[in-house]
């Protein structure tokens, strides 16, 4: 039995003026500890599918299960969500932001400071727990967002273009950090990205979607020799560029 399964998912958005068919007949499974990416043209339904996997809303039809439990309406499943913007609360300190999820889970208060400081060092940040988000750079804020996501020990991490607002150097560093941490913590993850290179460098498998309506077009298995490298090293490997070319051509044929 797969860790996560998306079964016959269709989704249509209805407004007064129009019905937009965002996803059509999506079926896929993800194994425990696997890192997969969703890529595809703008508007092909990547964010919609990620939100459905997160249980944020119910698909028009079909279902998503994690360890045999349906995600929609399930309060016991902890799912981590990391977005392009970090959504840190500006009026809260870094420590309060990191431990927010723990407070919601009503965990014991006295350990919060320790949790925050150990997670900060884990994501490569100096002790900034008493600072406010405005005092940190974009890359540092995304590290805090990662620490906050890991704090609640989620079953799965859903990452919707978390690096796309960063400068190139910060992005490469964060890719390595996220990949490393998720391996260390043995987490399953789904990354949405527009960057084919990032998908190849970080993933075990890549799902390519086509648009209008969003359908699963093709699945690519990242070769073993790339999967054992860090994202930064993978980008320099000879297998990387041939897979890049293949996916690039396929994506072009869809646009």
Ligand X SMILES: Nc1ncnc2c1ncn2[C@@H]1O[C@H](COP(=O)(O)OP(=O)(O)OP(=O)(O)O)[C@@H](O)[C@H]1O
In the bound complex, what is the minimum distance in angstroms from residue 238's beta carbon to ligand X?
Answer: 29
Binders in 193-212 for Mg ion, by CB under 5 A? none
| Residue whose CB is less far from ligand X, 46 or 143 | 46
Q: Token pair of 72, please?
A: 């929609």
Q: Token pair of 9, please?
A: 């998912």
Give the one entry of ligand X, Mg ion, none that residue 85 binds, where binding means its C-beta sits below a cut-off of 5 to 8 angstroms depending on kind: none
Give the other-Cβ count within 10 Å of 94's Cβ. 27
| Residue whose CB is less far from Mg ion, 38 or 240 | 38
| Residue whose CB is less far from Mg ion, 46 or 235 | 46
Q: Token pair of 82, please?
A: 């990391």
Q: Could you give the CA distance from residue 29 to residue 52 in angstroms, rounded to a whole number?
A: 14
Give the other-Cβ count within 10 Å of 84's Cβ. 16
| Residue whose CB is less far from ligand X, 43 or 62 | 43
Site for ligand X contains 217 (CB under 6 A): no
| Residue whose CB is less far from ligand X, 27 or 111 | 27
Rg of the chain's alpha carbons, rounded to an integer? 18
- What is the C-alpha end-to-end distance of the chain, expressed in Å? 35
Give the one entry of ligand X, Mg ion, none that residue 44 binds, where binding means its C-beta sits below a cut-off of 5 to 8 angstroms depending on kind: ligand X
| Residue whose CB is less far from ligand X, 100 or 211 | 211
Stretch that binds Mg ion, among 41-49, 85-93, 104-112, 221-229 (CB under 5 A): 41-49
Binders in 28-57 for ligand X, by CB under 6 A? 42-48
Total residues contacting ligand X (rule CB under 6 A)? Answer: 11
Written as one string, the DSSP assignment of 106-135 is T--GGGHHHHHHHHHHHTT--S-TTS-GGG
List 2, 20, 29, 60, residue binding ligand X (CB under 6 A): 20
Site for ligand X contains 60 (CB under 6 A): no
**SS3 annotation, 12-62:** EEECCCCEEEEEEEEEEEECCCCEEEEECCCCCCHHHHHHHHCCCCCCCEE
Whether the CB-CB separation of 211 and 44 falls below 8 Å is answered with yes
Site for Mg ion contains 47 (CB under 5 A): yes
In the bound complex, what is the minimum distance in angstroms from residue 124's beta carbon to ligand X?
Answer: 28
For ligand X, the binding residues (CB under 6 A) are 13, 15, 20, 22, 42-48
């Amino acid at each position: 039995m797969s860790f996560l399964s998306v079964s016959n998912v269709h989704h249509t958005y209805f407004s007064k003026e129009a019905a937009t068919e965002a996803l059509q007949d999506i079926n896929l499974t993800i194994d425990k500890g696997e890192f997969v990416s969703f890529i595809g043209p703008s508007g092909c339904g990547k964010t919609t599918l990620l939100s459905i996997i997160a249980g944020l809303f119910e698909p028009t039809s079909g279902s998503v299960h994690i360890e045999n439990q349906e995600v929609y309406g399930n309060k016991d499943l902890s799912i981590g969500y990391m977005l392009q913007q970090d959504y840190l609360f500006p009026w809260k300190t870094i420590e309060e932001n990191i431990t927010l999820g723990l407070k919601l889970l009503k965990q014991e208060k006295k350990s919060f400071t320790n949790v925050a400081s150990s997670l900060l060092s884990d994501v490569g940040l100096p002790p900034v727990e008493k600072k406010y988000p405005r005092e940190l750079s974009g890359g540092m804020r995304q590290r805090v967002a990662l620490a906050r996501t890991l704090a609640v020990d989620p079953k799965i991490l859903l990452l919707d273009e978390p690096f796309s607002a960063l400068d190139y150097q910060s992005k490469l560093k964060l890719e390595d950090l996220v990949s490393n941490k998720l391996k260390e913590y043995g987490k399953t993850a789904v990354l949405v990205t527009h960057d084919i290179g990032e998908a190849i460098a970080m993933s075990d498998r890549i799902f390519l979607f086509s648009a209008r309506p969003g359908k699963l077009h093709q699945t690519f298995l990242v070769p073993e020799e790339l999967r054992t490298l860090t994202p930064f090293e993978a980008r320099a490997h000879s297998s990387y560029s041939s897979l890049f070319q293949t996916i690039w051509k396929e994506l072009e044929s869809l646009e």
